């Protein structure tokens, strides 16, 4: 690793960026350095940087890739070198608007019915009942279940923020039984040899249940979180509370569920149904 890259990576860690962001930015900046191998990157002209970004944008990569590439380069010049903010006249790729995949309440029951292993069932029940991200479930510790206040405490969630979410009474009874059976030491869900349960293992549990359920949706574990929010909205929970439970910084992020909910749709008839046709 070059001195330039080491300094770049060190500052990312010093500024307490998430591990995934550190890895992404470092990889993209290394690609940037390779492109300009033999040149002093600290004296590159704006036009040279623009040419590089334009060539990358023409490769047809996703909006997220293009935006993170720009941000990784800006981090180098603005944070590592301490220069003023620079606006590259490169149109940022717009993220494609996709509605998240959501299960109906009947499909949730159908999905969970496929799981025989009690521990596995507790994991997916936890994610759905509390609207968790998969990494939040994997990081969950025994002490994070606050049965006296009927809350689950999510520590160090996305954005390095703590939050509280719902503790289902159904889940609580399951967890009490689960604790007696498995006696975890620190993490709520632990592997056979100890330590926290892996994200990959949780994904495998979900994928196996989905495959055997017969549900034909391109869903992931995250679809349980989307379903949690949508079902709360359909049952009349205020969007502001859902935002807090999910840990969304912006209300606009939570508002996507208003595009999915079937609430009110059952009162609207298709114009075809009003025609006197056979």
Question: Which residues are part of the catalytic machinery?
Answer: 133, 158, 222, 225, 248, 257
Contact 165, 130 (CB under 8 A): yes
Give the C-alpha separation, 31 to 69, whole Å: 10
Residue 114 structure tokens: 């496929």
Contact 57, 40 (CB under 8 A): no
Give the C-alpha separation, 249 to 264, whole Å: 27
Three-state DSSP class for residue 81: coil
Spatial CB neighbours of 21, under 8 Å, sequence gap ≥ 6: 12
Give the C-alpha separation, 134 to 198, whole Å: 10
């Amino acid at each position: 690793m070059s001195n330039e890259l080491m300094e770049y990576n060190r500052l990312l860690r010093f500024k307490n960026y998430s591990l995934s962001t550190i890895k992404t930015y470092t990889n993209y900046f290394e690609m940037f350095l390779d492109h300009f191998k033999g040149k002093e990157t600290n004296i590159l002209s704006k036009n040279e940087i623009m040419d590089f970004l334009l060539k990358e944008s023409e490769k047809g990569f996703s909006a997220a890739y293009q935006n993170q590439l720009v941000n990784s380069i800006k981090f180098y010049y603005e944070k590592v070198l301490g220069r003023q903010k620079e606006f590259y006249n490169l149109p940022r790729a717009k993220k494609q608007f996709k509605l998240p995949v959501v299960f109906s309440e009947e499909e949730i029951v159908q999905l969970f019915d496929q799981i025989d292993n009690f521990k596995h069932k507790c994991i997916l029940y936890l994610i759905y009942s509390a609207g968790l991200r998969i990494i939040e479930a994997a990081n969950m510790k025994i002490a994070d279940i606050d049965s006296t206040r009927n809350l689950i405490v999510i520590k160090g969630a996305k954005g390095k923020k703590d939050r509280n979410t719902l503790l289902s009474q159904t889940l609580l009874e399951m967890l009490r039984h689960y604790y007696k059976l498995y006696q975890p030491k620190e993490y709520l869900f632990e592997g056979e040899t100890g330590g926290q349960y892996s994200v990959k293992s949780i994904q495998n549990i979900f994928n196996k249940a989905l495959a055997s359920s017969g549900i034909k949706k391109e869903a992931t574990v995250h679809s349980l979180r989307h379903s949690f929010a949508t079902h709360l909205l359909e049952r009349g929970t205020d969007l502001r509370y859902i935002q807090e439970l999910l840990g969304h910084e912006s209300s606009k992020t939570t508002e996507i569920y208003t595009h999915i909910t079937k609430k009110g749709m059952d009162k609207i008839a298709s114009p075809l149904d009003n025609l006197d046709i056979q």
